[in-house]
Amino acid sequence: MSSSNDHRSEVAELARLLPPPAERDLPPSRQRVIGAHLMSEFREARPADSTRRSGLVVLAAAAATVLTVIAGVTIGSAVTSSPPPLPRKAVTALPGGKQQNSITGGSPSSRLPESAGITTLAGMTRIIAGTAPLWGFKEGTGPYSGRSLGLLGSLQQCWVLTSAIMRLGPLTHGLPMPLPLWFATSHPGPAQVCDEVWAFANSWAPVKVLRNPEYTGSGTPGTITLRTGSIDHGLAWQVDSAANGGMSEFRFEWAQGMHLADVSVIGADLTLAQARGIALKVRA
């Protein structure tokens, strides 16, 4: 009873010291759209779960077909320097592009050319390309915004093993991210790569961002700073996250001239050297 009273009086005192919080409902039309979208995603995921449970049966039945398709398609994507066409929605409706509007007050940064990031990865296919938000603890209320930093443009790309697409379907039809552990373990090493590059109008902004843990996320629980492996005196982490479904993740962030680069590499039995070798392919 006394404890309950203490709780109430402390909360009341805190409430007195602070302005009242804003509160509103999610606009009904938007709530419907988001709700319907989420349920659709969950329903699509259900067959994938079932497939995983009976994976051996499905795998055996599909093996011949998959092998045939892989033979025809991966050869094409491995030798060509231009990746296959991207899913239209992934390019035009990236959440990053949408958020950038809110960061800069209506003037989204432009998308950098593909040459700013990773242009090819052997055995992998680029499944997403768009702009990348420069999120802080939160834009507009953080220490500085994209506009104040002179953000000119950005590029965000994600790559997955081509064989994963052949096995699990394209991004728009069931490809999960991160890839399932059962798939990654049968393909040890890098399975998924995301690279992001931001271009600024000056060379101090990338360094400033790199030094701010609210922007880099280096203070996030589970990120382990590595003593070795950083690029250009930047940051290197191993990420111990339940979100990776049991896979390993290495992440690198560094400043180079007027650019800031961020690369994360995820996979089963992944080594720091493998991940770093991929990160070095960014041409920022």
Partner 1 sequence: MEPDQRDRVRAGDTAAFEALFERYAASVYNHAFRLTGSWSTAEEVVSLTFLEAWRLRGAVHADGGSLQPWLLGITVNVARNVRRAARRHQAAMSRLPPPPAVPDFAEELAGRLDDEAMVAATRTAVAGLRPREREVLALCVWSGLDYATAAETLGVPVGTVRSRLSRARRRLQKLAAASTPASAPGQPKSARPREDSSDEQQQRSPI
Question: Within positions 55 to 84, which residues make up the interface with partner 1, using CB under 8 A?
Answer: none
Q: How far is the CB of 60 from partner 1 (least distance, A)?
A: 25
Tokens 């965000």 sit at which residue?
156
Q: How far is the CB of 4 from partner 1 (least distance, A)?
A: 8
Closer of 16 and 81 to partner 1 (Cβ): 16
Q: Cβ distance 220 to 154 under 8 Å?
A: no
Q: How far is the CB of 42 from partner 1 (least distance, A)?
A: 5
Q: In this structure, what DSSP letter does residue 176 have?
A: -
Site for partner 1 in 182-201 (CB under 8 A): 194
Please give the Cα distance from 177 to 244 (Å, whole number): 9
Is residue 85 at the binding interface for partner 1, with CB under 8 A as the rule?
A: no
Closer of 193 and 284 to partner 1 (Cβ): 193
Is residue 96 at the binding interface for partner 1, with CB under 8 A as the rule?
A: yes
| Type and span of the H or E element at 8 | helix 2-17
Site for partner 1 in 18-47 (CB under 8 A): 18-27, 30-31, 33-35, 37-39, 41-43, 45-46
The CA-atom distances, in angstroms, between 192 and each of 22, 134, 164, 175, 263 are 40, 21, 10, 12, 11
Q: Cβ distance 158 to 192 under 8 Å?
A: yes
Q: Which amino acid is at 245?
A: G
Site for partner 1 in 109-168 (CB under 8 A): 127-128, 132-133, 135, 137-141, 158
DSSP-derived 3-state class of residue 250: strand
Please give the Cα distance from 78 to 3 (Å, whole number): 65
Closer of 26 and 63 to partner 1 (Cβ): 26
Is residue 234 at the binding interface for partner 1, with CB under 8 A as the rule?
A: no
Q: How far is the CB of 205 from partner 1 (least distance, A)?
A: 17
DSSP-derived 3-state class of residue 203: coil
